[in-house]
Amino acid sequence: MRKPNSLKASTAAVAVLIWSLSATVAESGIGVNWGTISLHKLSPSTVVDLLKANKIEKVKMFDADPDVLKGLMGSGIQVMVGIPNEMLGVISSSAAASDLWVQKNVSAYMVKGGVNIRYVAVGNEPFLSSYSGQFQSYVIPALMNLQQSLAKANLASFIKLVVPCNADAYESSLPSQGAFRPELAQIMTQLVSILNSNGSPFVVNIYPFLSLYGNSDFPQDYAFFDGTSHAVTDGPNIYYNAFDGNFDTLVAALSKIGYGQMPIVVGEVGWPTDGAVGANLTAARAFNQGLINHILSNKGTPLRPGDPPMDIYLFSLFDEGAKSILPGNFERHWGIFSFDGQAKYPLNLGLGIGKLKNAMDVQYLPPRWCVAKPSVDLSAVVNHLRIACSYADCTTLSYGGSCNAIGVKGNISYAFNSYYQLQNQDSKSCNFDGLGMVTFLDPSIVLYSTAEDLAMDQFELQHPSLQHTVPQ
């Protein structure tokens, strides 16, 4: 990989690059968010092969991980790299810091046979109400500095800057009355004006699941795409799903500040498969398949008929077992693939391959497990469980989780085994003061004498992917 020696790439090199990447307006499509806050990571090359096998041509990142970017080199996949909110302060106050970030994370990869970077996300939901304005003042100055940095590198006409916003940036009781939050009205008007002048879309994250999760009165069928008995009537328009209602609320908010035709990209949208009531495989498949079919039908929404979002990025590609669970245990379970690249449920992305294809040549640890010893007093196990679950992901055991009903011994063995696999099957990690033991027999076929043990067996049979894990 050739790295430029200065911030300004040569005009000839950039011309070759743009020609080789065919820098025309990209077609609308279905992309994915590739998050990396995982306990067990597949190699970037394996992930890229998975993306190619599923003909996924658009990927959104939350940072500019060099290993991921190196893996994407030569793939042709369109990439959105991200700048974490915590970096906005430095970039907003220093043109040199902005130049250096672009040089290191964009220009270095924008070479012939390099990475097809199309967007740089300036922060991630920096106006989120729960941040209480912490990052708000940095966004516009950072955006301006980065635009100048891209211009210096002769990349400003090809790479677009965007600012992914949470849907809480706007509000309304009816879509047609949508408006940005009063405290954001001025900065949003300024932001959208800059985005528009640079030919950038407005990027929004829409989560009907969170509306359902956070409001017991929210009608469940309105979150999906199969019709509802709770349609919302808004003048001449009728809304049959929450996604369209949310999207048109943004359209109305943009119209109020003079940018009603602004292109919109949905940066995050999806449904979790575990960790909460309503988060399960059936619901996730129904939502994601319904969404994809709806977008690809080109029907658009009542306020934008025949004009669906430019692109949508499903959230997310994989489960991320190390994510914060402050919003809820479901945060670790959004993937359409499990951590080892195996499809969780049949899903047709509309990209011409039918159902999702699994990752190939995944390397697993040997088939052995850590379980609670039979016929041992487990009364002293609580502290061990606490320690194990502080490192490993035990969110499926909590209320609403898929393994919530596997019984006490099942819970213990699940936690012990999760920690043991995370420690790459180090035999010492299965001791737990003599309460755990390593077994080379698949727990799903070992005979036990209690109904509780049988429940654990049934659980293992239903969750074979949890029996061993991918080494880091």
Q: What is the pLDDT of residue 472?
A: 34
Judgement on whether residues 59 and 180 belong to the same structural domain of the protein:
yes
Judgement on whether residues 309 and 424 belong to the same structural domain of the protein:
no
User: Does 51 fall in a domain?
Assistant: yes
User: Does 446 fall in a domain?
Assistant: yes
User: Does 39 fall in a domain?
Assistant: yes
Q: What is the pLDDT of residue 444?
A: 56
Judgement on whether residues 243 and 387 belong to the same structural domain of the protein:
no
Number of domains in the chain: 2
Residue 458 has pLDDT above 90, yes or no: no
Q: Which domain holds residue 34?
A: 11-332
- The residue out of 332, 361, 381 marking a domain boundary is 332
Establish whether 268 is a catalytic residue: yes
Judgement on whether residues 210 and 268 belong to the same structural domain of the protein:
yes
Pairwise pLDDT comparison (400 vs 335), residue with the higher score: 335
Judgement on whether residues 119 and 15 belong to the same structural domain of the protein:
yes
Establish whether 27 is a catalytic residue: no
- The residue out of 307, 332, 357 marking a domain boundary is 332
Contacts of 215 (CB under 8 A, 6+ apart): none
**Where residue 375 falls among pLDDT bands split at 50, 70, 90?**
confident
User: Does 448 fall in a domain?
Assistant: yes
Q: What is the pLDDT of residue 450?
A: 38
Domain of residue 310, CATH code: 3.20.20.80
Q: What is the pLDDT of residue 454?
A: 39
Judgement on whether residues 300 and 412 belong to the same structural domain of the protein:
no
Phi-psi region of 352 (alpha: psi -120 to 50; beta: other; left: phi over 0): left
Q: What is the pLDDT of residue 455?
A: 39
Two tokens, residue 152: 């210096």
- Report the pLDDT averaged over residues 406-418: 90
Q: What is the pLDDT of residue 404?
A: 85
Q: What is the pLDDT of residue 3?
A: 37
User: Does 228 fall in a domain?
Assistant: yes
Q: Which of 57, 125, 320, 331 is catalytic?
A: 125
Judgement on whether residues 323 and 397 belong to the same structural domain of the protein:
no
Q: What is the pLDDT of residue 456?
A: 37
Query: How much of the chain, in percent, has pLDDT values that exceed 90?
Result: 83
Q: Which range (8-22, 70-84, 353-367, 443-457) has the least confidence? A: 8-22
User: Does 444 fall in a domain?
Assistant: yes
Residue 170 has pLDDT above 80, yes or no: yes
Q: Which of 27, 86, 171, 268 is catalytic?
A: 268
Q: What is the pLDDT of residue 143?
A: 98
Judgement on whether residues 287 and 412 belong to the same structural domain of the protein:
no
